[in-house]
Structure 1
Amino acid sequence: MALPKMSVMTVSPAAAVRVSGLLANAVAGAGLRVSVEKGGCAGMSYKMEISEPQMGDEVIDFEGGRVIVDSKAVLYLLGTTMDVKNDKFSSSFVFENPNQTSACGCGESVELKPADPAQLALP
């Protein structure tokens, strides 16, 4: 019996709609790549771009879209929920990340610790 595949990240319905809109004119097979990079006052920031999956990436497919988790970001994004925050003048992706230990005051960068796979509960 095969074990169910655990998804690295959860994509909320609102985020899925937004990703689908962003990918409407993208090449077939492309998705919204989510990665983390060093930078900002807290040490790391989320980066997003439209690209095709690379070897080792985690791919989350859903009706009308695809999110690609960069292979180097997997341990930093385990258990994360990607959502959309809308206010009067803007709409942006937000990440509810259990691996986040702090954030800068301006909200542009975060401090992340890698998840410990041994501590993850399997369904």
Structure 2
Amino acid sequence: MNLPPHVTDRAFDRLAEIGADTQGQALRVAVEGGGCSGFQYEITLDAPAEDDLVLEGKGQKVVVDSVSLPFLAGATIDFSDELIGARFVIENPNASSSCGCGTSFAM
């Protein structure tokens, strides 16, 4: 059995700051074909769907669809706030390589 992704407190805190839950939305993390390395992350605010894995914390939700889930097994979903910008980031142990853009990876 693959481990589900882990969501950090920083990521849940950021979702609370932007009021995702008050709009009935969750942070959707999906994996799609494309990008410079073969796969890319798609991170959006979206309403949870029936077949989503829902990860909850601090009153917030992060959802992953069933197709993306195997690509994100054991990954960490975090929020990074640095000088170059603030964004949700994914540390994925399944990625054999990644691209400088931070949203594209290979397996």
Q: Is the 8 A contact 1:23 1:32 kept in 2?
A: no
Larger radius of gyration: 1
User: What are the ranges of 5 or more consecutive residues in structure 2 without an aligned counterpart?
Assistant: none
- What fraction of aligned residue pairs are identical, expressed as a percent? 36
Higher relative contact order (CA 8 A, sep 6+): 2
**1:4-23 CA distance string (max 9 Å, x none):** xx861111111111122233
**1:55-85 CA distance string (max 9 Å, x none):** 2210011113100011110000010111122
Give the TM-score of the pair, scaled to structure 1: 0.75
Q: Give the strand-richer structure, 1 or 2.
A: 2
Choose from 47, 65, 86 the match for 2:81.
Answer: 86
Correspondence list, 1:36-115, <5 A:
36-112=31-107
RMSD of aligned residue pairs (Cα, Å) = 2.0
Query: Within the alignment, does 1:15 sit opposite 2:15 as a pair?
Result: no
Please give the alpha-carbon distance, in whole angstroms, between the structure 2 residues aligned to 1:24 and 1:62. 13
Please give the alpha-carbon distance, in whole angstroms, between the structure 1 residues aligned to 2:79 and 2:26. 17
User: What are the ranges of 5 or more consecutive residues in structure 1 without an aligned counterpart?
Assistant: 1-5, 113-123
Provide the aligned length of Structure 1 versus Structure 2: 106
